[in-house]
Chain A
């Protein structure tokens, strides 16, 4: 879409519409409005301009006139950018103007539909407007009588798995003929799915693979694969997902609740949920295919309105599948479709890994929708491992899919959107892109979710993904590598378009100041024509600018004039590009830069960076005390200058931008809602003013401070007409219920009212809003609340905490009358009966400070009948409790209780409670573990230790929605020990080194966390024995199938955990501790003892017996001995880690007690602990050897299995075959 007048031509620098054709002049023709007429003028072109086939120099156009320029036919339409609306999705694929030029991709789909209809089967690829990439015909549920043996096998698989008898059963199955004369084409897809699943069941039933597949499987599977055009038999995405479902009610919808697996393997919950949700996800994407074709046709027809509608369909559908269908894979045990990550890892997770080297895998990159979207979005880079794999897998696509993906590349929607210079189209295009690759879009959510699955899975021993194989020790954090791959590939998908920014203009707003001096600003931002589509509950990110006074003060603290030019880093360039009026700049004057920089408060990372850079002791002490957030950049600079640091170096040597980060986006809930399907014309914000004084402490001084963003918005509201850079941030978990009859209960404090103003506009059903504020003068009139109350859709209850007043509704407006002061949680308790009743079905929303949210949740816990905590857990699992928590910063960093690391490490069991540390804060997650959306396993993995890295890895810290919830559970912070400048000499492999005492302490802490982390992982691993791994099983029974995993976990404990612990980590701990504590100690004694230990008969017996026990299990005759040993393993392994932890904690406590004097005061303790650790391991082997002998197993009955060689990362369980 373009604004008139426009020039057509070959040269994009002078023509708004650039046409790629040598026969077109650089400036060829012009289209403009002259009075009431639309006029087309040739600009003296070489080859002429034509209207309806007639050469013209100037022509007044009539509707439907077609312009010809070179080889292009140009059609046009007038668009009023405000008059856009959402299409009815069901109509989209069929409603097309008859004169639309047909694009290549459309031709492919139409041809595929015709071909499949004519052939009577869909072997060349499912492809249709109605069902997308899924079969148009329902998958067949039975073979003819000749192949009944296969059908009969399906129901038996779970039982065979449970007893580890899969292989015996298939060895005994007859070899059936799969040639065309015996098995007609229409049965091929069923045969492919079934034989593939059988073969993989045979392969992966036991941890040790069989030598070969039996003829009963290999022969027909090979035949079927060849008939389908596959050189090597392999389970495809079609086999496992698209053709592996049946409808319970054939007339019902294609949705999870109406589907079963066609060929289940274990038929456990993990398998059902994982496969069927993936299939439903694909079904949900069907409208995207039609919309992509519509979008390309709209481009070909130069129809911006139609393009916008098509992009909106893609946007809406992507949001639907990621926010409604995908979350059905729910790691929460109380969820409706619970998928236990450990169960998944031990069964479904590896089931798709190809049996034969080089065969394609059914990994996520084999999804045809992704390839279609990538083509549509013009992805060009496939350099990453996943990208390479993706291309490799696409080579195995059926014909129709390959043709479609190629055809979708022929039209560039992106180019059209760029050339149109339409802010509406750009807004919608960017929103669609964000819904695909953004942090909260499909790929972003996938990465976060996958990370949880991968981490849990790898910790319980999974060594392969369906795409790649990894080996490694516990501490190698293999899952991080996989996650890194996912991050890279997401970037490859991002086409070269500008930042996802929309620009708004503020209208004059209103500032309400209460008696206390606290103020709230209500302002509206005009976003007409920006293509902003948002839902009630969404947030908007605002990029603040600092006021002149703060900039001036910072310039002066930098001892600069402000005119100095500062080069920008890439991070800064991106940030500046989001500001209106700044395109791609790589240098800015210091003064301008400071407007956009994060000047207050000082963040932790910046604080540490400044310590490193300046080495100023005074600042170091502030940072050690965690008091940096009491400071602003300018006064830190003054402090650094006073401490001898030359602050001018910051801007003189060009490091400024690599030290000082740009101002981040600050999020506000949108307090308005557009009509459904309409773009927003304005966004209302409710901004609470942030003013406070920094604390008077040894590390900070009292001074009035202001919040950067709230004061910026206040200024913008007072001035009006200020341009803002905005970013719409969807909040999928803070949405009105899909079921409109469900009651909605909202709790808000202060400016937490904002999202509920948008809810009130959109509410159709009964809503109840509880608002807590201080005094009546802080309450302003909201027309939306009055209207909703008048329509009977809303009741409003206001609790004034500092005034004896109450609010009633007089039929038209809410009015303040007499009452008594109270808080929202008082109201909840007072209305316990009615609320308790409503809570049984209602959706509950809380928005306010973390303290408010905690008090509301506590009050709700208290009033419901029965176990209140369990009730809240279920509420969360049902998706009926949504929190929008914000941290109102009040400068209280130091005022929480201090804890020691030894306290933290003790809280790693249900009895002691679960704690973890994140960024120095101590969090009590005992209750949260049941509320975590990502499930309990991932939280459980980090209790009793520092979880900062894992927390940041999933970007939780960058997601304010999540990060602010932490403060609801924070109980204090970790004390930082003071070691002064103590140091010692240690002998390392690299020779003699001096080392700070603090480094020795860190080595101890790392060792402690390693023990805690291993113990957490092992608990999850052995916890698998309590799950229902196959359909119809008693979870309490240790079936042979589960027993093999206990044996495997035990083997891994010996090889991956214990050996690494002793030979690397404990050894380093020993070497370093000896260096500090005892120069007379022979460091070789550790290695000597370790060698002696390994040579002991007990150790040999324990390690060799593993394969003997496995043999017993396979033999299947003496299961009671196996079961008994399995219980011994599970107990002894966990117990050893506990004992080691207890020992190490003594050392940690010595550090905590003596700090800098630990060597003088407690050297013998530290040395003893390291020695004790070896004796504990020795005792463990002795105990275990006794039990093993007791079961009649001797050394020599088995052999110790070697760790298989690492086959590297590239392929699909094996190396990639390239020809």
Chain B
């Protein structure tokens, strides 16, 4: 079975230069944990995970000590950083050397790289162009449910 047989053909994506607020909105609406990122010419450049969005809001040790010093302060800072980050662009958070698969790849090949590297959603890229994504759910549906 090929990747193109089971992939999601209309992936959630944003473009470089979009704000983090926009990214959070897409995550929220699409209920997808991993957004694909395209450049201004529509070519695939990488991906952005909700995990990285959340991680960016967590304050470091020094942030906490400068911001009051208590755990309660740390929790408050978390929220504040969210507000501050919202207007920044996503570019620094984009993972650019993400693993990709081709639509013609064997499904098993994709499954292996996902399990080995802990990837939840793989970009499917054909000649630099994003043509879909492949999630673990897609795999389960195709290989187990429909078999």
Given the complex of chains A and B, what is the CA–CA distance between A430 and B106 in angstroms?
Answer: 57
User: Which single member of B60, B61, B70, B75 contacts A1082 (CB below 8 Å)?
Assistant: B70
User: Which single member of B60, B68, B71, B72 contacts A991 (CB below 8 Å)?
Assistant: B60
Q: Is B28 an interface residue (CB 8 A)?
A: no
Q: Which of A1070-1122 contact B (CB under 8 A)?
A: 1074-1075, 1078-1085
Tell me which residues across on chain B come within 8 A of A1075, comparing CB atoms: 71
Given the complex of chains A and B, what is the CA–CA distance between A786 and B74 in angstroms?
Answer: 84
Q: Is B132 an interface residue (CB 8 A)?
A: no
Interface centre among A985, A1074, A1078, A1084, by most chain B C-beta atoms within 10 angstroms, is A1084
- Nearest to B77 among chain A residues (CB) is A992
Q: Mark B67-87, 1 if CB is under 8 A from A, else 0.
A: 011111011000000000000
Given the complex of chains A and B, what is the CA–CA distance between A236 and B59 in angstroms?
Answer: 60
- Nearest to B73 among chain A residues (CB) is A1082
Q: Is B64 an interface residue (CB 8 A)?
A: yes
Q: Is A988 an interface residue (CB 8 A)?
A: yes
Tell me which residues across on chain B come within 8 A of A1079, comparing CB atoms: 70-72, 75
Contact A1085 B59 (CB under 8 A): no
Q: Is A653 an interface residue (CB 8 A)?
A: no
- Nearest to A989 among chain B residues (CB) is B61
- B115 to chain A: closest CB distance in Å? 13
- Nearest to B60 among chain A residues (CB) is A991
Q: Is A990 an interface residue (CB 8 A)?
A: yes
- B90 to chain A: closest CB distance in Å? 22
Q: Is B65 an interface residue (CB 8 A)?
A: yes
- Nearest to A1081 among chain B residues (CB) is B70
Tell me which residues across on chain A come within 8 A of B27, comparing CB atoms: none
12 extra A-B contacts, CB within 8 A, seeds A989-B61, A1079-B71, A1084-B69? A988-B61, A990-B61, A991-B60, A991-B61, A992-B59, A992-B74, A1079-B72, A1079-B75, A1080-B71, A1080-B72, A1082-B69, A1083-B70
25 contacts between A and B (CB under 8 A): A985-B71, A987-B71, A987-B74, A988-B61, A990-B61, A991-B58, A991-B60, A991-B61, A992-B58, A992-B59, A992-B74, A1075-B71, A1079-B72, A1079-B75, A1080-B71, A1081-B70, A1081-B71, A1082-B68, A1082-B69, A1082-B70, A1083-B65, A1083-B70, A1083-B71, A1084-B65, A1085-B69
Tell me which residues across on chain B come within 8 A of A987, comparing CB atoms: 61, 64, 71, 74
Tell me which residues across on chain A come within 8 A of B69, comparing CB atoms: 1082-1085
Tell me which residues across on chain B come within 8 A of A988, comparing CB atoms: 61
- B58 to chain A: closest CB distance in Å? 6
- A1090 to chain B: closest CB distance in Å? 14
Tell me which residues across on chain B come within 8 A of A989, comparing CB atoms: 61
Interface centre among B65, B71, B75, by most chain A C-beta atoms within 10 angstroms, is B71
Tell me which residues across on chain B come within 8 A of A990, comparing CB atoms: 61
Tell me which residues across on chain B come within 8 A of A1082, comparing CB atoms: 68-70
Q: Which of A817-857 contact B (CB under 8 A)?
A: none
Given the complex of chains A and B, what is the CA–CA distance between A990 and B72 in angstroms?
Answer: 18
Tell me which residues across on chain A come within 8 A of B64, comparing CB atoms: 987, 992, 1083
Given the complex of chains A and B, what is the CA–CA distance between A987 and B60 in angstroms?
Answer: 8
Tell me which residues across on chain B come within 8 A of A1080, comparing CB atoms: 70-72
- A1085 to chain B: closest CB distance in Å? 7
Tell me which residues across on chain B come within 8 A of A1084, comparing CB atoms: 65, 69
Q: Which of A957-991 contact B (CB under 8 A)?
A: 985, 987-991
- Nearest to A1083 among chain B residues (CB) is B69
- Nearest to A988 among chain B residues (CB) is B61
Tell me which residues across on chain A come within 8 A of B61, comparing CB atoms: 987-991
Tell me which residues across on chain A come within 8 A of B75, comparing CB atoms: 1079
Contact B71 A1074 (CB under 8 A): yes
Contact B70 A991 (CB under 8 A): no
Tell me which residues across on chain A come within 8 A of B60, comparing CB atoms: 991
Interface size class, chain B: 10 to 19
Tell me which residues across on chain A come within 8 A of B65, comparing CB atoms: 1083-1084
Given the complex of chains A and B, what is the CA–CA distance between A985 and B78 in angstroms?
Answer: 14
Given the complex of chains A and B, what is the CA–CA distance between A969 and B68 in angstroms?
Answer: 53
Tell me which residues across on chain B come within 8 A of A991, comparing CB atoms: 58-61
The list of the 7 closest CB pairs from A to B, nearest first, reads A1082-B69, A1079-B71, A1084-B69, A1079-B72, A991-B60, A1082-B70, A989-B61
- B130 to chain A: closest CB distance in Å? 33
Given the complex of chains A and B, what is the CA–CA distance between A992 and B68 in angstroms?
Answer: 15
Tell me which residues across on chain A come within 8 A of B71, comparing CB atoms: 985, 987, 1074-1075, 1078-1081, 1083
Given the complex of chains A and B, what is the CA–CA distance between A1083 and B62 in angstroms?
Answer: 11
Given the complex of chains A and B, what is the CA–CA distance between A938 and B70 in angstroms?
Answer: 44
Tell me which residues across on chain B come within 8 A of A1083, comparing CB atoms: 64-65, 69-71
Given the complex of chains A and B, what is the CA–CA distance between A433 and B23 in angstroms?
Answer: 70
Q: Which of B22-80 contact A (CB under 8 A)?
A: 58-61, 64-65, 68-72, 74-75
- Nearest to B71 among chain A residues (CB) is A1079
- B64 to chain A: closest CB distance in Å? 6
Given the complex of chains A and B, what is the CA–CA distance between A123 and B43 in angstroms?
Answer: 84
Tell me which residues across on chain A come within 8 A of B59, comparing CB atoms: 991-992
- B95 to chain A: closest CB distance in Å? 20
Given the complex of chains A and B, what is the CA–CA distance between A1081 and B68 in angstroms?
Answer: 10
Given the complex of chains A and B, what is the CA–CA distance between A1074 and B59 in angstroms?
Answer: 17
Tell me which residues across on chain B come within 8 A of A1081, comparing CB atoms: 70-71
Tell me which residues across on chain B come within 8 A of A992, comparing CB atoms: 58-59, 64, 74
- B35 to chain A: closest CB distance in Å? 24
- A632 to chain B: closest CB distance in Å? 33
- B45 to chain A: closest CB distance in Å? 28
Given the complex of chains A and B, what is the CA–CA distance between A989 and B60 in angstroms?
Answer: 8
Tell me which residues across on chain A come within 8 A of B70, comparing CB atoms: 1078-1083
- A1084 to chain B: closest CB distance in Å? 4
Given the complex of chains A and B, what is the CA–CA distance between A1074 and B71 in angstroms?
Answer: 8
- Nearest to A1074 among chain B residues (CB) is B71
- B110 to chain A: closest CB distance in Å? 21
- B60 to chain A: closest CB distance in Å? 5
Tell me which residues across on chain A come within 8 A of B72, comparing CB atoms: 1079-1080
Given the complex of chains A and B, what is the CA–CA distance between A1083 and B67 in angstroms?
Answer: 11
Given the complex of chains A and B, what is the CA–CA distance between A1082 and B75 in angstroms?
Answer: 13
- B29 to chain A: closest CB distance in Å? 28
- A519 to chain B: closest CB distance in Å? 54
- B83 to chain A: closest CB distance in Å? 18
Given the complex of chains A and B, what is the CA–CA distance between A1078 and B70 in angstroms?
Answer: 8
- Nearest to A1086 among chain B residues (CB) is B69
Tell me which residues across on chain B come within 8 A of A1085, comparing CB atoms: 69
- A389 to chain B: closest CB distance in Å? 43
Interface centre among A987, A1075, A1084, by most chain B C-beta atoms within 10 angstroms, is A987
Given the complex of chains A and B, what is the CA–CA distance between A990 and B55 in angstroms?
Answer: 13
- B71 to chain A: closest CB distance in Å? 4
- B93 to chain A: closest CB distance in Å? 17
- Nearest to A1084 among chain B residues (CB) is B69
- B73 to chain A: closest CB distance in Å? 8
- Nearest to A1076 among chain B residues (CB) is B71
Given the complex of chains A and B, what is the CA–CA distance between A1082 and B71 in angstroms?
Answer: 8
- Nearest to B55 among chain A residues (CB) is A991
Given the complex of chains A and B, what is the CA–CA distance between A871 and B64 in angstroms?
Answer: 64
Given the complex of chains A and B, what is the CA–CA distance between A987 and B59 in angstroms?
Answer: 10
- A672 to chain B: closest CB distance in Å? 59
Given the complex of chains A and B, what is the CA–CA distance between A1074 and B73 in angstroms?
Answer: 13
Given the complex of chains A and B, what is the CA–CA distance between A1083 and B72 in angstroms?
Answer: 11
Given the complex of chains A and B, what is the CA–CA distance between A1079 and B61 in angstroms?
Answer: 15
Given the complex of chains A and B, what is the CA–CA distance between A1083 and B66 in angstroms?
Answer: 11
- B119 to chain A: closest CB distance in Å? 21
Given the complex of chains A and B, what is the CA–CA distance between A988 and B58 in angstroms?
Answer: 13
Given the complex of chains A and B, what is the CA–CA distance between A667 and B72 in angstroms?
Answer: 61
Tell me which residues across on chain B come within 8 A of A985, comparing CB atoms: 71
Given the complex of chains A and B, what is the CA–CA distance between A1078 and B69 in angstroms?
Answer: 12
- Nearest to A986 among chain B residues (CB) is B71
Given the complex of chains A and B, what is the CA–CA distance between A985 and B65 in angstroms?
Answer: 16
Given the complex of chains A and B, what is the CA–CA distance between A166 and B61 in angstroms?
Answer: 55
Tell me which residues across on chain B come within 8 A of A1078, comparing CB atoms: 70-71
- A776 to chain B: closest CB distance in Å? 68
Given the complex of chains A and B, what is the CA–CA distance between A1083 and B74 in angstroms?
Answer: 11
Tell me which residues across on chain A come within 8 A of B74, comparing CB atoms: 987, 992
